[in-house]
Amino acid sequence: MSKTATLERQANNVDQPECSPSACTYTPAVDILETDDELLLLVDVPGASPEAIDIEYDRGRLTIAVGVAERQGPQTQYTHREYGVGEFRRTFQVGKEIDASRMEAEVRDGVLTLHLPKAEAAKARKVAVKVV
């Protein structure tokens, strides 16, 4: 399974949030690593609690949605602010080579780590050569 064929990014501009009058939706930065056994996604979700993270997998489509609440009280005066507050959302088309029943996720220090194990059929195999 090739790295580029495994996940197809379906997001607009990563740097700019989409905002409505009531809220902004941010596109979090994501690193994707591939090993022999799994795809590993590292997603930036600064300030997110585990309860605010929603991961859905449906018919090959993986959606990560995270709600990030205000970090300080309403009277806080920032001198500089770069982290977004609101919804972080990212969607990927995941190949059929993923075993969705074994997917796992954890969050630590503002990084969501999502393990997407490869199905046995997608793993690289060695073929023994027989003498005939």
The CA distance from 117 to 39, in Å, is: 6
Q: Which amino acid is at 8?
A: E
The mean per-residue pLDDT over the stretch 100-129 comes to 86
pLDDT at residue number 95:
76
The H or E element containing residue 6 is helix 3-6
The mean per-residue pLDDT over the stretch 69-75 comes to 73
The CA distance from 38 to 35, in Å, is: 5
Q: How far is CA 105 from CA 41, 56, 87, 126, in A?
A: 9, 11, 18, 30
**Of the candidates 23, 6, 28, 7, which has an alpha carbon nearest to the alpha carbon of residue 88?**
28
Query: What would the pLDDT profile of 81-93 be if each residue is shown by its tens digit?
Result: 777 778 889 999 8
pTM for the full predicted model:
0.72
The CA distance from 20 to 31, in Å, is: 27
| Fold held by 3-122 | Immunoglobulin-like (2.60.40)
